[in-house]
Structure 1
Amino acid sequence: MSRRRSEEERVGAHTHGHGEGHDGHAHGVAENADRRWLSLALALITSFMLVEVVIGVIARSVALLSDAAHMLTDAAAIVLALIAIRLSARPARGGYTYGLKRAEILSAQANGLSLLLFGLLLGYEAVERLVDPPEVTGGLTLITALVGVAVNIAATWCMSKANRSSLNVEGAFQHVLNDLYAFIATAISGLVVVTTGFARADAIAALVAIALMLKAGVQLVRASGRVLLEAAPAGVEPDEVGNRLVSHDEVVEVHDLHVWQITSGEVSLSAHVLVAPLGDCHAVRQGLEEVLEREYGITHTTLQVDHADEHTSPPQSLGGHYDAGAPRAEHCLTAHGPVHRAAPDDH
């Protein structure tokens, strides 16, 4: 059974199709709305982050400082998202035939790497304080963390209004959401310090926040890395797609099949398709494009469709029947990836 993308993902794929007009206008309106919501979240996070750094130093709380560092990466993620939105909206020109749509992927990559770096640095500090805990002002830590929870709830709500199908917007959203969890852990640690005097609770809370940072960083680096390495998007198996295409009427072979993402939600596919000698190449191409759109949500396709000739196909029988199962020479001596061939009974 062919794997189908969700309706939401298919709508996102159609948005980046060949057509412009009304869709392009709507996309521009959405980008303006994204910028407004992201800017509001940025203002909330930056303002509270500055306050938290000051209080963290006064209270000698590594948990508050780690939360502030996490908020710094959140702010950086939002700034990069805003820059990427503006760059990706620029039209393609010159040598940049896809425009600057990959800017958001580079943004997500930088964001993930910064999370990993901050997580490792703060993890070292937290472990040191776990072994030799300093005196922590639990009350001040608790109050600040509770305010941080409220600020992060507001920022998370703002970012939930933006287009989360974009990898860097979703990454920034997840950062703020993880930061909310970290503030909850810090508030709990502050309460523990106030009620029991257990100073190591602060370092333990910091390690919880750091674990969330590392998790988010790994996910972002992995997801953006797959796009940069031209891997097939999640939910699309190239071999499955190749087998589905070669099962279409009159198709005898599919090779050089590539499926990749230009940016979040913009999937492209290219392939070389060989059709039986008497087949209608134009009709086959239209049929394959309909299959790709209907079953996989892929609308940006480049299909090279040719007739299989006597050099690349087995000879016909005396009755003119084309034997798809007979031996044949390779059409491309250096085909990229697996070659998908129709079963003998299919044609």
Structure 2
Amino acid sequence: MHNHNIESNSKKLFLSIALTGLIFIAEFGGGLWTGSLALLSDSAHVFMDVFALLLSYLAIRAAKLPSNDRHTYGYHRMQVLAALANGATLLFISFEILKEAINRFQHPEPIVAGPMLLIAVIGLIVNVIVALVLRDHDHKDLNTRAAFLHVLGDALASVGVIGAGIAIYFTGLLWIDPLMSVLISVLILVSSGRLLKETVHILAEGIPDGMTASGVAETMKSISGVAEVHDLHIWTVSPSFVALSAHVILEDQTLRQSENIMTELKQRLDSEYEIEHTTIQFECSNCGQG
């Protein structure tokens, strides 16, 4: 990721942390006041989002640190590790909400629907503002994208709480509150599952989505002078940093033009697959001839 994108995303995240913190204070206090589990569930989700946003912010700042003797790729993986922590905490909180919702089905508690509705509306407005701040993020930045999904989930949860508040206000049916909590927990579970799947794929040195090793090899072999490609490895250091290493066998009598072939290989890999970090070793089956 380029430095100006990192700086832009970090500023957006910092503003989002402040606004999301205000939502948490309002919803947690309001949940205690009104007795609404849906509101308390959403405040728990928001609290984890504050934590997640803070981790994302720190990880993005760490990614700007230069490489050194002990970390030759720099600290790009800090973004992935932070995203993994975000997904794990969201997974945990979704099960906690589900457990409490089941308890509320069995033992309903009275709810003050009017203030619950007002606080949820305020939370929705602030969530929409934060979502707009994060909307134009760099889609390769896993952390900012995860933060955007967190906030979008919060906004949808706020809509659900508003709906529950209206229904309880007019019907007095208390089971609507834990039902909405269950729906919120499922929403969190789905989003955290997707995030965990992607981060584990990166940490397992997986190839980026939309790319196959065989396809990349065919692209490399389509360049004039390249006879074969073997020992090809492609892995994701971070969503914005893909690395490749390969052995390339050149056709006979082409070593003198190897510099031009290397230049074209790097250009094609960058333009077609956005692979900027390449390590390519040339080989020739008849290097001693000619």
What TM-score do you get using the length of structure 1 for normalisation?
A: 0.78
Residue 255 of structure 1 corresponds to which residue in structure 2? 230
TM-score under structure 2 normalisation?
0.92
- The alignment status of 1:72 with 2:47, answered yes or no, reads yes
- After superposition, give the CA deviation of every residue in 1:19-78 in whole Å (9 maximum; x if it has no partner): xxxxxxxx4344333333222211111122122112212222110111001111211111
Instruction: Give the number of equivalent residue pairs.
Output: 287
* Greater Cα shift, 297-306 or 81-90: 297-306
CA contact (8 A) 1:71 1:179 kept: yes
Q: 1:303 — aligned with what?
A: 280
Aligned partner of residue 75 in structure 2, secondary structure: coil
The DSSP-based 3-state class of the residue aligned with 2:68 is coil
Mapped partners of 2:136, 2:212: distance in 1? 31
What does 1:7-22 correspond to in 2, within 5 Å?
Answer: 16=1
Give, in angstroms, the shift of residue 297 of structure 1: 2.4
Structure 2: segments with no counterpart, 5+ residues: none
User: Could you say which structure has the larger radius of gyration?
Assistant: 1
**Quick check: 153-162 or 54-63, which moved more?**
153-162
Q: Which of residues 167, 175, 178 in structure 1 aligns to 2:153?
A: 178
Displacement after TM superposition at 1:241 (Å): 1.1
Please name the residue that 1:329 is paired with. none
**1:133 is matched by which residue type in structure 2?**
P
Shift of 1:113: 0.4
| Residue matched to 2:264 | 287
SS in 1 for 2:211: coil
Secondary structure of the corresponding residue to residue 156 of structure 2: helix
Shift in Å at residue 162 of structure 1? 4.5
Q: Secondary structure at the match of 2:53?
A: helix
Q: Which residue of 2 aligns with 1:95?
A: 70
Q: Counterpart of 1:293 in structure 2: which amino acid? A: D
- 1:167 deviates by 0.3
The one-letter code matched in structure 1 to 2:182 is L
Change (3 A) 1:295 1:37: closer
Could you list the runs of 5+ residues in structure 1 that have no partner in the other structure?
1-15, 17-26, 311-315, 321-347
Equivalent position to 2:189, from 214, 225, 237:
214
Query: How far is 1:213 from its partner?
Result: 0.8
Q: Per-residue CA shift, 1:216-275, capped at 9, x if unaligned? A: 111111111111111011111111111232333332321111111221221111111112
* Residue among 10, 16, 19 paired with 1:35: 10
**Corresponding residue for 2:243?**
268
For 1:191, the equivalent position in structure 2 comes to: 166
* Percent identity of paired positions between Structure 1 and Structure 2: 31
2 CA distance for matches of 1:173 and 1:104?
15
The 5 Å alignment of 1:48-197 reads 48-197=23-172
RMSD over aligned Cα, in angstroms? 2.0
SS where residue 211 of structure 1 aligns?
A: helix
Query: d(CA) in 2 for partners of 1:242 and 1:164?
Result: 26
CA distance in 2, matches of 1:36, 1:240: 38
